[in-house]
């Protein structure tokens, strides 16, 4: 592979040999500097260039002439140097000497020896076919890029172990995926967090041709299951999978998925999404579920919770969206010995929700979101004894859960788009129910902005006259979405 700033050099190479010339568009100076800082300070809390390094950073992006691949490569090197000005100066000196001795070429490298390439966040819209010639490549990250398709030459990456295309625009694999026999981790999906949560907000990918021979595959997220008669048949062969995500599962395909999952004895993470809120997830066909399973997400209508969930005593996290369950169905979850996180979004159609004494003994995080019929929550003394985080976003709930005062371990209470009447009852000094939550150190009131983004306010900062206005005093902590755990990480996908 040859990278040059001189078009005549590229045309000369094209004329004298069978090569493809790929002209990369340069970035504006401000975007180039932003990209360099994102890569160089990727392990820092704030990915901003300190004043003492600004001059050196500007020099680097100028010498790279705005080329994204060059900036990303140098930024990756700088990420291990921290903010040590002497290290940055040393790299600039090396770059200057190289350009002085070889003024026409930015890089002339034997990329065939490269084993890892991380282009996360680079403004790439396409990749040259030559990428498929990197025979020794083991790890390729194209996360958060503008890529829409991969070159067919990718079938030549026969030593590739990880392909990460999360939050890219790639929707299908058109090359012969089954040629990548050493592939272990395949992550291809895009979730739109700027819109309301829906089935359509999470998009997986399509596979053309077989993939069942990829015996080393451990991660497969998110496979669209509504095309190809043999798609789920091939899935049965991937017995070493540890993480599996499936979207667009039809009711008719539920049995085929269950047969495949039952064969995956090492499976730890399972995320299944239906085609629509009207297409039932029929997952009752498992008699011996993987005992290693610790995370289960089911997105779609359920006539009842699968019976096999009772046997998952290592399960720590359950996410149920659009399930439409009745109260007796949720009783199955109370006795799961290691369950620590439970999220219910449009998952329960009852008006009352009762947490009985002795139930959910290890639960630390509970989310009750968009339960549109819910009008009352009762927590008995002895229920939820270890609960630390409680998130509530139910528009018909007029009072804080009865018995919340028993949750002595509760550290954080999050209220999303709750009725004005409920917030008023909790206000310090004047709220009639403030005594029930007085022991909770942190209470946030979250007001919807757009999609799943919310602005956050502390309860202590609110006044009665300000609750109904849009000018409430903000205690900034960033914007939080329904699709996030308290630490900000997304729970929808991996």
SS3 content of the chain, % helix, strand, coil (to 5): 25, 20, 50
How far apart are alpha carbons 99 and 94 in whole angstroms? 9
Closest to 120 measured CA to CA, from 154, 182, 163, 64: 163
Instruction: Determine the 3-state secondary structure of 134 from DSSP.
Output: coil
Q: Give the pLDDT confidence of 216-261 residue by residue, as tens digits.
A: 999 999 999 987 668 888 999 999 999 999 999 999 999 999 999 9
Q: Give the pLDDT confidence of 74-113 residue by residue, as tens digits.
A: 887 788 788 888 888 888 887 776 666 555 443 434 445 6
State the pTM of this model.
0.77
User: What's the maximum distance between 2 C-alpha atoms anywhere in the chain?
Assistant: 84
Hey, where are the domains in the chain? 7-111, 350-471
Per-residue model confidence (pLDDT) at position 217? 96
Yes or no: say if 273 and 300 are a contact pair by the CB < 8 Å rule. yes
Neighbours of 355 (CB within 10 A): 23
What does the pLDDT profile of the chain (494 residues) look like in tens digits?
555 544 544 554 554 445 555 555 678 888 888 888 888 888 777 778 888 888 888 888 887 877 777 788 788 778 878 888 888 888 888 777 666 655 544 343 444 567 888 888 877 888 878 788 888 889 999 999 889 988 888 889 999 999 999 999 999 888 788 899 999 999 998 888 766 777 778 888 988 767 889 999 999 999 999 876 688 889 999 999 999 999 999 999 999 999 999 999 999 999 999 998 889 999 999 999 999 999 999 999 998 899 999 999 999 999 999 999 887 778 889 989 999 999 999 999 999 999 999 999 999 999 999 999 999 999 999 999 999 999 999 999 999 999 999 999 999 999 998 988 899 899 988 889 999 999 999 999 988 776 667 777 888 777 655 555 444 444 444 444 444 433 334 434 45
| Half-sphere exposure of residue 182: CA atoms within 13 angstroms, side-chain side | 12
Instruction: Determine the 3-state secondary structure of 11 from DSSP.
Output: helix
Angstrom distances, CA of residue 176 to CA of 149, 173, 436: 14, 8, 60
């Amino acid at each position: 592979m040859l990278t040059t700033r001189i078009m005549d050099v590229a045309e000369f190479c094209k004329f004298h040999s069978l090569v493809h010339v790929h002209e990369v568009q340069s970035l504006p100076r401000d975007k180039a500097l932003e990209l360099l800082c994102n890569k160089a300070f990727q392990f820092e809390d704030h990915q901003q260039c300190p004043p003492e390094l600004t001059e050196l950073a500007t020099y680097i992006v100028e010498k790279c002439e705005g080329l994204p691949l060059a900036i990303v490569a140098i930024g990756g090197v700088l990420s291990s140097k921290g903010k040590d000005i002497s290290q940055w100066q040393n790299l600039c000196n090396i770059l200057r000497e190289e350009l002085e001795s070889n003024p026409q070429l930015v890089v002339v490298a034997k990329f065939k020896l490269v084993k890892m390439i991380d282009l996360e966040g680079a403004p790439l819209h396409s990749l040259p076919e030559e990428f498929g010639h990197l025979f020794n490549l083991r790890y390729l990250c194209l996360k958060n890029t503008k890529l829409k398709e991969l070159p067919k030459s990718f079938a030549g990456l026969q030593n590739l172990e990880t392909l990460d295309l999360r939050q890219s625009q790639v929707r299908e694999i058109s090359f012969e995926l089954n040629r990548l026999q050493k592939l272990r981790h395949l992550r291809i999906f895009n979730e739109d967090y700027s819109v309301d949560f829906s089935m359509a907000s999470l998009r997986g990918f399509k596979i053309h041709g077989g993939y069942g021979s990829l015996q080393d595959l451990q991660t497969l997220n998110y496979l669209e299951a509504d095309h190809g008669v043999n798609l789920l048949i091939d899935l049965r062969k991937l017995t070493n999978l540890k993480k599996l995500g499936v979207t667009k599962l039809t009711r008719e395909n539920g049995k085929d998925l269950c047969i495949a999952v039952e064969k995956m004895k090492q499976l730890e993470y399972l995320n299944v999404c239906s085609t629509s809120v009207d297409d039932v997830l029929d997952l009752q066909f498992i008699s011996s579920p993987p005992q290693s399973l610790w995370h289960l997400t089911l997105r779609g209508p359920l006539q009842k919770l699968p019976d096999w969930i009772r046997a998952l005593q290592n399960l720590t996290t359950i996410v149920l969206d659009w399930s439409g369950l009745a109260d007796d169905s949720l009783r199955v979850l109370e006795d799961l010995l290691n369950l620590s996180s439970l999220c219910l979004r449009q998952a329960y159609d009852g008006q009352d929700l009762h947490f009985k004494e002795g139930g959910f003994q290890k639960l630390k995080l509970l989310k009750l979101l968009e339960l549109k019929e819910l009008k009352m929550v009762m927590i008995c003394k002895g229920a939820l004894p270890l609960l630390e985080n409680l998130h509530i976003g139910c528009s018909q709930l007029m009072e804080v859960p009865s018995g919340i005062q028993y949750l002595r371990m509760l550290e954080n209470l999050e209220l999303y788009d709750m009725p004005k009447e409920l917030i008023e009852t909790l206000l310090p000094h004047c709220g009639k129910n403030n005594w029930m939550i007085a022991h909770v150190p942190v209470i946030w009131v979250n007001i919807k902005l757009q999609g799943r983004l919310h602005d956050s306010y502390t309860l202590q900062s609110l006044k009665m006259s300000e609750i109904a206005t849009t000018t409430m005093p903000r205690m900034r902590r960033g914007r939080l979405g329904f699709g996030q755990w308290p630490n900000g990480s997304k729970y929808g996908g991996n």
